[in-house]
C-alpha cells in the first residue's frame, strides 16, 4: 500500500469560471491559471503521481507548453490515472479538502465526486471531497485564492 499527497492553490479573479473537479460552480470569481485552473483536479493528479513516485503535474504537463492552455484538467487526471496504472499500481481511494471562503460548495460535492470517480474509474464510495473555510484567515479566507489538499492510496 502506498500513499500520495498533492496540494494546489490558485488566485481567484473576476472573469474566470470556477471549475472544481470538472464541475462549473457558479461564482463571481474563478481561478486564474494556464489551463482551466481546476485546483482540485491538479491536487488529485499530484497525489496520484506522488503515490507512484512519478514526479508531479508540472513536470508532465508544463504550463510553458501551449498544448495545455485552457486544458480540461479532468483529461489530465485521466492521463495521470493511466500513468499510475501503467506503473503497476491500482488506485484504492482518494480524499481531498478544498479550502475556500465562498461560495459554499455543499450542493456541488456529489456531482464533483461523480465526475472524479468517473475519471479515475473508481466507485463513488472511494472518492471523497470535502470543503472547509479557513474562518477568514489568510489568502483562502480573504477571498484572494483557494487551496486544495488531496491524498490517494495505491496498491
Ligand atoms: Mg493548478
What range defines the domain where residue 52 resides?
Answer: 2-154
Whole-number Å distance between alpha carbons of 55 and 80: 11
CA 11 to ligand 1 centroid distance, Å: 10
CA 5 to ligand 1 centroid distance, Å: 14
SS3 at position 148: strand
CA 40 to ligand 1 centroid distance, Å: 8
Q: How many CB atoms lie within 10 A of CB 136?
A: 10
Residues 6+ apart with CB under 8 A from 92: 1, 126, 152, 153, 154, 155
pTM of the model: 0.96
Contact criterion met (CB below 8 Å) for 32 and 11: yes
Whole-number Å distance between alpha carbons of 28 and 110: 22
Confidence of residue 33 (pLDDT cuts 50, 70, 90): confident
Closest alpha carbon to 70 in 98, 44, 31: 31
Count of structural domains within the chain: 1
> What is the per-residue pLDDT across 4-19, written as a single tens digit (0 to 9) for each?
999 999 999 999 999 9
Confidence of residue 63 (pLDDT cuts 50, 70, 90): confident
CA 150 to ligand 1 centroid distance, Å: 13
CA 36 to ligand 1 centroid distance, Å: 9
Mean pLDDT of the chain: 95
CA 86 to ligand 1 centroid distance, Å: 24
Say if residue 67's pLDDT is above 90.
Answer: no
Q: What is the CATH number of the domain that holds 10?
A: 3.30.1330.50
CA 148 to ligand 1 centroid distance, Å: 9
Amino acid at each position: 500500500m502506498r500513499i500520495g499527497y498533492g496540494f494546489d492553490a490558485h488566485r481567484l479573479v473576476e472573469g474566470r469560471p470556477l471549475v472544481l473537479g470538472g464541475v462549473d460552480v457558479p461564482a463571481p470569481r474563478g481561478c486564474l491559471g494556464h489551463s482551466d485552473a481546476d485546483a482540485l483536479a491538479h491536487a488529485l493528479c499530484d497525489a496520484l503521481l506522488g503515490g507512484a513516485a512519478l514526479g508531479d503535474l508540472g513536470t508532465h504537463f508544463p504550463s510553458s507548453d501551449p498544448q495545455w492552455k485552457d486544458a480540461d484538467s479532468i483529461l489530465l487526471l485521466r492521463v495521470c490515472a493511466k500513468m499510475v496504472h501503467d506503473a503497476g499500481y491500482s488506485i484504492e481511494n482518494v480524499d481531498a479538502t478544498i479550502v475556500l471562503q465562498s461560495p459554499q460548495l455543499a450542493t456541488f460535492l456529489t456531482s464533483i465526486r461523480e465526475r472524479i470517480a468517473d475519471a479515475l474509474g473508481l466507485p463513488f464510495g472511494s472518492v471523497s471531497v470535502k470543503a472547509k473555510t479557513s474562518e477568514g484567515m489568510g489568502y483562502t479566507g480573504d477571498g484572494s485564492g483557494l487551496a486544495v489538499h488531496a491524498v490517494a492510496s495505491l496498491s
